[in-house]
């Protein structure tokens, strides 16, 4: 009977993986999870949807990219307006505000979930993408030591994932803001407008930035630019800033904080960390440390991780004062570019043949291996040996156990030897 | 500055867990994953959304419960109509059809993802719920051994999760259909209408079923009912069916299949499996084995897992003939009722104090423990011992390492002893 087929195809911006890729993704996610937990971050998950008023409370430019839910059934009772979350920060803020009384502060959480944005799909940008977030929030006052712990954890994750060379750029918003105020800026033009241009330094170059600042009425644009051009892989950034001769208490505080943070980071890891005073992470809610990770092999990809310290996480949802610091790694973006040797398309480590008339022996041996934690398939029907070996080969199953004569074949080396299952272990 | 707060609250039908509960859920999910992989099932994940035509291809009564996506921005380019998946079978069918050439058959996959349905939330029913699915699909012909492997894996998962007493009810659609055809039914009234009533036997009782069958024009309703009332915890079901004196080749085949399946299941596990010939799993696409799991402590919860064999997985999306057998466990439903001792609200195993003026020693010790895979926090600021101990106690961190004198305190026993970190292991 012929019928109309719906042609299956991918949806632009929604990644989907073949079994071997999915296993690689799963292994990476397990590694990230393990690393987060090594530092005592605890997992939370929030529903994929939030009420629209929660999603919109923050304001900003993500609104237009939001996906709302609608019922197919036009007669469905009208629900509260719901939308898919576009990041994990908003759901986390709502979560902390809602469960405030049942959380223990400082609260260290990680969250690894897909997010959705209706933006135009392009290289490294997806409409569904998994973010891996870590944050620490405290009540009223948050220790500065977390400002170095957060980048440390993220750095170690990226090293474990073996992504190659990356720059973990760090700055402190107090430096930028104090410096610009010391220059007398911020009275006629809001500081955030100035910092937004400084943030674009790498993208559009110093000349264009200077021009823009001049248009804003900044009298000494080269002076503002000089700060943003400071990049060091050691603690010398503080002297370089001081040499510019600008003074302001906020600047002093920012330099002091960044020095403490970088002291620890440079002492733990020599490579990868970079003080870059052009980093401001446009978002207005960052008030101290700011982080931005670039993957040097893929400069066009944008940042693969970003974050910072904010003065109040959940000010839209609670009157408790909850300062925090956090960072978000773009898993889908990283995975989309990661070159790696893929694992086999199955977790199976041993295939037990079914060569005898009855399956009983094959199944018993398989159960014996599983009891030892070894992932095992018992071949699903009595079939010619060649067919069973071909199945193992195609699925890249490393070992085949011949149940009739109790010999184990290593498909990589081709060696076949008698085994004692009580002691045998796969490589 | 006072401002308008958005009151954070739960959305009906969308479960969210506190940290300790979330850790319990995570541990359960890891256990399920491990058990699936022990049998060689490989993970896949599909996007949360599918094109509407894919979701609607199956037809049926889930349509009205579907959530569609809509962009908040009214000027957004019009996308293909997308909807959230309401189960994992439809996305799996689309996946297999789409990636057909790159999969190796028999293809054994598991998939653990949330699904969304706009149905009315009630006890055990959620609008977002996680399903844990396993399926095997083959090209053209699927070995019967998988019909026993699937319930075996699910049975072992439920035992590992320690959910208590459950009934794993199994039947075979060929028995029901062959028997009813042997009774001369299926010519004027479709068999599926008759089986739908038999399926309700437990819910509405034999008298109501008989009445309904009589209304449908079934001449010997008690004869149809007699089949559905057969329940055995051994292989005697076949004789009981034969004793009813109805004959049909499909019935014979069904009895033969179910006997083979149950022979293996009863031989591996004495408890929990139950032949119940009233089980038909209304859905029309099941053509052989059918499964339905009831949690005896929670009879009102409905089934906590269900599945069966289908003749063609992806007939809506490809002309390849892909028979399969699978089962879906309702994770969210099970978790909502599971009584268990919750783990601590943090994965941290050791808290290293910060009592000396500098954090250096505390951090070095923490790093040393982490290098051994022990989840460790170094306290985040120099503080009074009492405050640090209180933090450990509240978070139920089992051990505290005093960095100044290298003693480890077991907070459960209160014992404090000198430790050598090179050899120390948490319980």
The Cα A157–Cα A151 span in angstroms is: 10
Q: Identify the residue among A6, A84, A143 best suited for mutation to test binding to B, counting B beta carbons within 10 A and taking the highest.
A: A6
List per-residue pLDDT tens for chain A, 427 residues long. 446 799 999 999 999 999 999 999 999 999 999 999 999 999 999 999 999 999 998 766 667 789 999 887 777 766 668 999 999 999 999 999 999 999 999 999 999 999 999 888 787 789 999 999 999 999 999 999 999 999 999 999 999 999 999 999 999 999 999 999 999 887 777 888 888 888 888 889 999 999 998 988 888 899 999 999 999 999 999 999 999 999 999 999 999 999 999 999 999 988 899 999 999 887 678 999 999 999 999 988 889 999 999 999 999 999 999 999 999 999 999 999 998 899 999 999 999 999 999 999 999 999 999 999 999 999 999 999 999 999 999 999 999 999 999 999 999 999 999 999 999 999 8
Mapped onto helix, strand or coil, the DSSP state of residue A399 is: strand
The ipTM (two decimal places) reads: 0.95
Q: Which of A2, A3, A8 to mutate to test the interface with B (most CBs of B within 10 A)?
A: A8
Spatial distance between the Cα atoms of B206 and B201, rounded to a whole number of angstroms: 6
A191's tokens: 């500081």
Select from B380, B388, B394, B399 the residue whose CB has the most chain A CBs within 10 Å, as the one to mutate to test that interface: B380
- Secondary structure letter of residue A317 according to DSSP: T
Q: Distance of alpha carbon B107 from its chain centroid, rounded?
A: 19
Pick A345's closest partner by Cβ from B42, B53, B73: B42
Nearest residue, CB atoms, B5 vs list A102, A118, A317:
A317
Which chain B residue has the Cα nearest residue A369?
B38
3 state DSSP class of A318? coil
How confident is the model at residue B203, as a pLDDT?
85
The per-residue pLDDT for A427 is 87
Of A8, A9, A375, the CB nearest to B38: A375
Nearest-neighbour CA in chain B from A165: distance (Å): 23
Closest-CA residue to B182 (of B226, B147, B152): B226
Closest Cα in chain B, distance from residue A43 (Å): 7
Of A65, A76, A98, the CB nearest to B9: A98
Please give the span between the terminal C-alpha atoms of chain A, in angstroms, as a whole number.
Answer: 50
Contact A40/B347, CB-based, under 8 Å? yes
Among A318, A380, A388, most B C-beta atoms within 10 A, so best to mutate, is A380
Closest residue to B375, CB basis, from A3, A10, A38: A38
> Do B377 and A39 touch, CB atoms closer than 8 A?
yes
pLDDT at B79: 61
Give the per-residue pLDDT at A202. 83
Span B251-269, average pLDDT: 97
Mean pLDDT of B38-62: 90
Mean model confidence pLDDT for chain B: 93
Residues of B in contact with A114 (CB under 8 A): 48
- Respond yes or no on whether the N-terminal peptide bond of residue A106 is cis (omega within 30° of 0): yes
Fill in the DSSP letter of residue A126.
Answer: -
For CA atoms B381, A280, A136, A28, give the dihedral sign: negative
b/e for A227-238, b at 16 or more Cβ within 10 A? bbebbbbeeebb
Convert B337-355 to b/e letters by CB count within 10 Å (16 or more is b).
ebeeeebbbbbbbbbbbbb
Mapping DSSP to helix (H, G, I), strand (E, B) and coil, where does residue A41 land?
A: coil
CB atoms within 10 A of CB B69: 21
Task: Tell me which H or E stretch contains A288.
Answer: strand A286-295
Q: Give yes or no for a contact between A55 and A86, defined as CB atoms under 8 angstroms apart.
A: yes
> Looking at chain A, which residue has its C-alpha nearest residue B101?
A18
Lowest pLDDT segment from A185-199, A412-426, B306-320, B334-348: A185-199
Contacts of A243 (CB under 8 A, 6+ apart): none
Q: At B134, give phi and psi (nearest 5°).
A: -125, 140
CA distance B213 to B198: 9
Identify the sign of the CA torsion A62, A63, A65, A67.
Answer: positive
Statement: residue B18 has pLDDT above 70: yes
Report how far residue B220's alpha carbon sits from residue B201's, in angstroms, rounded to the nearest whole number. 16
Q: How, if at all, do strands A399-402 and B350-352 pair?
A: unpaired
Please report the number of interchain residue pairs, chain A to chain B, with beta-carbon separation below 8 angstroms. Answer: 246
Assess contact for B277 and B160: CB atoms under 8 A. Answer: no
Q: Give the minimum alpha-carbon distance from B187 to chain A in angstroms, rounded to a whole number.
A: 21
**Chain A residues in contact with B73 (beta carbon < 8 A):** 63-66, 118
Cα first-last separation, chain B: 50
Res B1: pLDDT: 41
Nearest to A229 by CA among A219, A243, A218: A243
Residue B136 or residue B281, greater confidence? B136
- pTM for the structure as a whole: 0.95
Task: Count how many residues are written for chain A.
Answer: 427
- A99's tokens: 């469960």
On chain B, the residues whose CB falls within 8 A of the CB of A10 are 98
Closest approach of A367 to chain B, Cα-based (Å): 9
Return the residue matching tokens 């979560």: A95
d(CA B276, CA B228): 7
Q: What is the pLDDT of residues B187-241, one digit of tens each?
A: 777 888 888 888 888 889 999 999 998 988 888 899 999 999 999 999 999 999 9
Hey, are the CB atoms on A11 and B108 less than 8 Å from each other?
no
The CA distances from residue A176 to A60, A180, A188, A227, B147, in Å, are 22, 6, 17, 8, 66
Confidence of residue B46 (pLDDT cuts 50, 70, 90): very high
Cβ-defined contact of B71 to A68 (cutoff 8 Å): yes
At B52-102, the pLDDT tens digits run: 999 998 766 667 789 999 887 777 766 668 999 999 999 999 999 999 999
Are A23 and B6 within 8 A, CB to CB? no
Q: Do A40 and B376 touch (CB under 8 A)?
A: yes
User: How far apart, in whole angstroms, are the C-alpha atoms of residue B279 and residue B151?
Assistant: 15
């Amino acid at each position: 009977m012929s019928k109309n087929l719906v042609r299956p195809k991918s949806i632009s911006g929604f990644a989907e993986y073949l079994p071997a890729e999915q296993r690689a993704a799963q292994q990476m996610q397990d590694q990230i999870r393990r690393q987060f937990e090594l530092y005592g971050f605890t997992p939370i998950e929030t529903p994929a949807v939030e009420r629209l008023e929660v999603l919109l409370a923050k304001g900003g430019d993500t609104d237009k990219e939001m996906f709302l839910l609608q019922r197919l059934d036009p007669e469905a009772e009208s629900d509260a307006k719901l939308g898919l979350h576009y990041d994990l920060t908003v759901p986390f803020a709502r979560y902390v505000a809602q469960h405030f009384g049942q959380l223990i502060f400082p609260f260290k959480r990680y969250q690894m979930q897909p997010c959705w944005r209706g933006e135009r799909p392009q290289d490294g940008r997806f409409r569904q993408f998994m973010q891996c977030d870590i944050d620490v929030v405290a009540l009223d006052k948050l220790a500065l030591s977390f400002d170095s712990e957060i980048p440390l954890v993220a750095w170690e994750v990226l090293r474990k994932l073996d992504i190659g060379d990356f720059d973990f750029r760090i700055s402190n918003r107090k430096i930028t803001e104090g410096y610009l105020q010391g220059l007398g800026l911020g009275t006629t033009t809001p500081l955030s407008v100035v910092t937004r241009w400084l943030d674009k330094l790498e993208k559009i170059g110093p000349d264009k930035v200077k021009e823009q600042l001049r248009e804003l009425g900044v009298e000494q644009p080269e002076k503002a630019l000089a700060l943003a051009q400071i990049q060091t892989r050691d603690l010398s950034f503080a002297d370089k800033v001081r040499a510019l001769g600008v003074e302001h208490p906020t600047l002093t505080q920012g330099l002091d904080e960044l020095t403490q943070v970088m002291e620890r980071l440079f002492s733990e890891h020599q490579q990868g960390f970079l003080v870059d005073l052009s980093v401001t992470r446009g978002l207005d809610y960052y008030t101290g440390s700011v982080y931005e990770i670039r993957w040097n092999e893929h400069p066009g990809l944008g940042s693969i991780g970003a974050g910072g310290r904010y003065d109040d996480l959940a000010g839209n949802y609670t009157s408790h004062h909850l300062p925090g610091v956090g960072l978000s790694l773009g898993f889908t973006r990283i995975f989309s570019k990661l070159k790696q040797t893929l694992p086999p398309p199955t977790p199976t480590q041993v295939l037990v043949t079914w060569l005898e008339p009855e399956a009983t022996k094959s199944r018993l041996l398989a159960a014996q291996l599983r009891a030892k934690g070894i992932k095992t398939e018992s071949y699903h029907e009595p079939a010619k040996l060649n067919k069973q070996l071909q199945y193992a080969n195609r699925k890249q199953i490393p070992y085949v156990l011949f149940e009739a004569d109790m010999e184990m074949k290593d498909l990589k080396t081709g060696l076949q030897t008698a085994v004692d299952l009580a002691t045998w272990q796969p490589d």
